[in-house]
Amino acid sequence: MWLVKLVAYAAWCWLGLTLWRPATVRWPNALGLGFLRLGIGVLFGVVIFFAVPAQPDDVLWKYLAIYSPVRLLECSSSPG
């Protein structure tokens, strides 16, 4: 799953670099930005998950209650 996300993030960063900085477009740059985005996502995901207290049997509910709004916000927001 992480590999799929990394490929998607790197492709998206490559497109952004192509549009905004055509002279600097290289796959290593896009891949580096993709790794950065993946790392930020993992870091925030872990912090959010452990910051909200829950009983051990509430882990699924906790996951759905926290990440569903986060994913909805991510998918519905657009830059600009």
For the chain, 80 residues long, give each residue's pLDDT as a single digit of tens. 788 888 998 998 889 888 888 887 788 888 998 999 888 888 887 887 788 776 767 778 877 887 787 777 767 765 54
- Could you report how far apart the first and last alpha carbons of the chain are, in Å? 29
Copy the structure tokens of residue 1: 């799953």
Q: Count the alpha carbons within 13 Å of 8 in the hemisphere toward its beta carbon.
A: 6
Read off the amino acid at residue 76.
Answer: S
Read off the amino acid at residue 69.
Answer: P
Find all residues with CB under 8 Å of 70, minimum gap 6, and list them.
48
Among positive and negative, which fits the CA dihedral 46, 37, 31, 13? Answer: positive
